[in-house]
Amino acid sequence: MPTPHEIRSSTMRISLCQILLTGAILINLVVLYYVSRTQQQMLKHKEPGKAVSRRSSVSRVAGITVLIREFEDFENWVVGVVKSFMKVRPDQPIVVVSDNLPYPPLGLPNKRTVQTILLKASPDQPHYVTRPEFYIKTEYTLLVPDGIQLDSTQQIERLLQEFEANKDKARMVAAPVQPSGLLQCLNLRVNLKEWSAVYSPSGGQLCDAIAGDAVVLLRTEDLFNLSQPMLRPLATSLFIQSSLHGWRVKTAESVVFSSYPRSLYMSAHNQWKSDNHVKARLAHLFKDFGVKRVVQADGKEQWYGCTKDAPRCFGTVHDDTPEYLYMNRWTPPCCLRALRETARYVIKTLESSDVRYWMEGGTLLGAARQQDIIAWDYDVDLGIYLEDVEKCELLRSLDSGSVVDENGYVWEKAVEGEFYRVQYSESNHLHVDLWPFYAREGIMTKSTWLDHKQDVEFPEHFLKPLVPMQFAGVTAYAPNNHRRFLELKFGEGVIENPEYPNPAKKKMVKTD
């Protein structure tokens, strides 16, 4: 049996071993912690950046983050741009934003202040990792195009001073980039209801948009309050969205950023490739924003909607209410252009065949109001004398099937009843409807009646005589006393009181 002294000695030995073992475990845990932390820091430099938060907003601190978005994977100066900022401002936060992981790899400096943000997440990632606003912690963001250099920290300081001096008038400040060193100040009117964006020259230094390479400074919160802040081409996208908010941009031409001495693209092929990418992005941008017609500052028009070889911009119309009215928009301008072209062509064909015709329904209403197609209408209606059908070879031949004429217009008998339809093309079904009427005891009637308010019989005296009236850029024929004729069909005061075709489905409000 052990003595009390031996028991105490054994207990002391056990306690000492336990202390040593516990100390060794703690030391190992500390070592593992620092190794893990170091590995995480290394990975942060090699992989795309990590979002700082899942929250819907981030607390901003004073300062500026440089954001590089506008560059091509296949050839760029992004690394040079980043290094030029780091040389002058070593701790400058910089984010490079790309749709996918750039290839070839950019080779950005391994520094915690430089991050790459990918807008398309991997399936195993949460959505917030694609949100640049969760990476940018500063109050301001500087949008920097590819190929520029920062020469002095004073350039950024002067931009900030310009911003503060003009913050009551402008939400953005823009500085030009050499070699031109010039920016063109533009007015920009974006009308989503009419699917259009119209640029025009602007005097002074306060604008809606600018033309020319520029570095743009704005508040981070403003940038990410736009619906699509990273959509390319970035400058076009930015100014379209900001103009809809009523924001202005101030040009700061006393602050000029230099560019690399040689051309951004070393080969003609890469320049061609870049130009094609820009065109494709512009088309995608205008499709996303629902802009079909763009008027440049020099007056040239660019169209991004339907053509003769492409389907019209809207589908089958239900309840006399096209889908765009539910979007609080009117007929796309490309569709109106095609309707005008088709109407003028049909009118010329009827007149050359001595077919008596007149503008009907909403078409006549548009002529009475504005000498044009109503801004939300989707077809053109003409009445014709049934007995004159035989005078027109194209109409006469339709008993044996539809005809595509030498100009690509499709003439056919409508499947909905006894009337004719002329479509813009085989692909694009914007059309003019021809309604054959005949006289019966002094009243004009027809064989097919549709469930339209204006689809009623009327006295023939409205057509004797037919009178000329301006419509869609040509002189067309209309009933005499067109006001009485329209009020018979639509009701009193119809010319002065516009309304959508089916108010029960979509009613016009005063702001329309």
pLDDT digits (tens, 9 = 90+) for 206-223: 999 999 999 999 999 999
Cα 198 from Cα 349, distance rounded (Å): 35
Q: What is the phi/psi pair of residue 342, to 5°? A: -65, -45
pLDDT bracket for residue 451 (50, 70, 90): confident
Task: Name the DSSP class of 133.
Answer: G
The average pLDDT across 106-129 equals: 93
**466-471 and 458-459: which strand pairing?**
unpaired
pTM of the model: 0.85
For residue 173, list its beta bridge partners: 217, 250
Is residue 18 very low, low, confident or very high in pLDDT (cuts 50, 70, 90)? low
What is the arithmetic mean of pLDDT over 131-140? 96
**Rg of the chain on CA atoms, in Å:** 34
pLDDT one-digit tens code per residue, 56-106: 557 899 999 999 999 999 999 999 999 999 999 999 999 999 999 999 999
Contact 116, 109 (CB under 8 A): no
Distance between CA atoms of residues 218 and 213, nearest Å: 16
Distance CA 412, CA 400 (A): 10
Give residue 108's identity as a one-letter amino acid code. Answer: L
- Residue 366: name the closest of 454, 278, 425 by CA: 454
Neighbours of 167 (CB within 10 A): 12
Q: How far apart are CA 193 and CA 330, in angstroms?
A: 6
- Does 40 or 346 have the greater pLDDT score? 346
pLDDT 10s digits, 260-290: 877 788 899 999 999 999 999 999 999 999 9
Q: What's residue 40's pLDDT?
A: 42
What DSSP state is assigned to residue 217? Answer: E
Closest to 259 measured CA to CA, from 145, 162, 98, 92: 145
pLDDT exceeds 80 at position 54: no
Per-residue tokens: 64: 């500026």
Question: Cβ neighbours of residue 69 under 8 Å, at least 6 residues apart?
Answer: 96, 97, 98, 143, 230, 232, 234
The pLDDT > 90 percentage for the chain reads 81
Contacts of 217 (CB under 8 A, 6+ apart): 64, 140, 141, 142, 143, 159, 160, 162, 163, 172, 173, 174, 175
**Confidence class of residue 45 from pLDDT cuts 50, 70 and 90?**
very low
Q: What percent of the chain has pLDDT over 70?
A: 88
> How far apart, in whole angstroms, are the C-alpha atoms of residue 229 and residue 288?
13
Provide DSSP, 286-336. HHHHT--EEE-TTS-EEE-S--TTS--SS---BTTB-HHHHTT----HHHH
**Residues with Cβ < 8 Å from 273, sequence gap 6 or more?**
72, 74
- At residue 47, does pLDDT exceed 90? no
